[in-house]
Amino acid sequence: MLGDALGAIRHGADVHLVRVQADVGPGFPRFTIVGLPDSSVSEAKARVRSAFHHAGLPFPKGRITLNLQPASLKKQGSWLDLAMAVAILRASATPPIPRDETVFVGELALDGTIVPQQGLSAIGLRMRDEGLSSLCVSADQSLPWPFDDMFQISRTSNLADVAVMLRQNQVRGVVSSSRSAKRVAEDRRAPLLCGHQVEQRLLAICAAGRHSLLLVGSPGVGKTTLADSLSYLLPDLTEEHALEVAAWQEITNPTYAFSLRPPVRRPHHSVSQRSLLGGGRFGMPGEATLAHHGVLLLDEMLEFSHAAINALREPMDTGVIECTVNGKLTRFPASFQLIATANPCPCGYRGYGDCSCAELDVRRYWMRCPGPILDRIDMVHHVNRQTNVGQRGDPLDTWAEKVRKARTLLQGGSSVLTNDAKHLLWRTCERLHASERDRAKVAALATTIAALDGRQEVSSPDIEEAIAWRRPGSLSPSRNAAT
């Protein structure tokens, strides 16, 4: 007799649904698994057989053949144990158990207990793409809370209970007390530095439009704390984006706790190009992908290797990293917001105090950062000690609310530049010999500035402010720092 069940496997970042087909028939007792199982999948034979025995279920005596579809895909890990057991139960049951499209995920212990697995966020995204709505996991499985709304989740603690549920045709709809992580109001870590009004506005523009930012300043002036404060202003992610983030985070951190807060990654300056971009033999995501939908914070950007920084060009333009993993083209999403800090010169005090650096040394210092990367950064801000002692701005919560409203307005996508604004933008860019990129970035900044004030009409003062932040045609921090 034949039976089948849906399961899932994970290959690095990808989750694949696997249909397990079981053929149980008379003949010499033999248990065969075909369909490219690796040794961890083949070892399931011993786990499944023992689980049947200890769950008090009769294990078919004759010949058992399991086929894992698609047969061309290499199967690894223990996620398929439960689906294999269910396929055998369905193939050997009398009366027959009707088939359904529930996805079964769990490892079997020898005593028949279903062992929870780590990192199931990606399964949810895959099931949603495939239009599947029913999931069966261990009673102790922790799942992101949006799963409760997305799927019918059946939770069972052992194989005997699964057999009972299958016979009663109750897999779908049997929902035990949900163990999904409860939705909680997440505390945002209040920033240590609230900053001056000017800097709060800078961060708000940055947060509302996801603009990239370079903060230049002498050591101890507070540029790192300022960069950290940005995450406080960022609105929560949508559930879908948060699930995407969780799916990537779980690859490097299996105990990642699902969160709606955007991720903030701050790689050390000794990070290699591969660790920053991902790839390698196992196709692991890099820091840029772990910062997807969030912030990539490069503290002391000029200390990073030239090659590593230069490699960020592609994701900064397209939000995607393409690389070859085991001869196969792989795409890693990397839509991050770049926030970087840098000293103005090798000694760090140029423009802010005593600086003994020669002009040539300063130029050489800034040449560590590839020009195309500097050009792609939307805003450069010089942090002064004085700006931190001046008039304090609004409470950060007020800014966070403005940012949230501005994001909604920007997502509407119906902002327009007035004729005066267009004219001013054109004239200024001509005068400053600004590039097309400068022009586009000034327009985008001005649109964000208008949205922050609750307007969809982008006027001349917005363009003026955007130009002041962007400084088109003169984006050379060494020159700015010297003046």
List interacting residues with Zn ion (CB under 5 A): 345, 347, 350, 355, 357
Rounded least distance, CB 266 to Zn ion, Å:
25
Please compute, for residue 287, the number of CA atoms within 13 A of its CA located in the half-sphere on the CB side: 23
For Zn ion, the closer of residues 331 and 364 by Cβ is 364
**Minimum Å distance from CB 342 to Zn ion?**
12
Nearer to Zn ion, 31 or 349 (CB): 349
Concatenated DSSP letters for 158-216?
A: BHHHHHHHHHTT-TTT---S--SPPP-PPPP---S---BHHHHHHHHHHHHHT--EEEE
Q: Which is nearer to Zn ion, 12 or 346 (CB)?
A: 346
CB of 304 to Zn ion, least distance (A): 20
Q: Are 55 and 123 in contact (CB under 8 A)?
A: no
Residue (247 or 481) nearer to Zn ion, CB: 481
Distances (CA, A) of 453 to 71, 100, 157, 196: 57, 53, 54, 19
* Helix, coil or strand: residue 237: coil
The nearer residue to Zn ion, 211 or 223, going by C-beta atoms, is 223
Nearest Cα neighbor of 126 from 6, 260, 292, 41 is 6
Three-state secondary-structure class, residue 448: helix
Residue 338, both tokens = 């770049």
In the complex, least distance from residue 146 CB atom to Zn ion, rounded to whole angstroms: 51
Give the residue with the Cβ less far from Zn ion, 293 or 350.
350
Task: Classify the phi-psi angles of 436: left when phi > 0, otherwise alpha if psi is within -120 to 50, otherwise beta.
Answer: alpha
Q: How far is the CB of 147 from Zn ion (least distance, A)?
A: 54
Residue nearer to Zn ion on the CB measure, 120 or 355: 355
Distance CA 343, CA 353 (A): 13
202 vs 440: CA distance, rounded Å: 19
Q: Quick one: CA torsion of 77, 83, 85, 88, rounded to 10 degrees?
A: -130
- Least Å distance, CB 397 to Zn ion, is 38
Least distance between Zn ion and beta carbon 300 (Å): 15
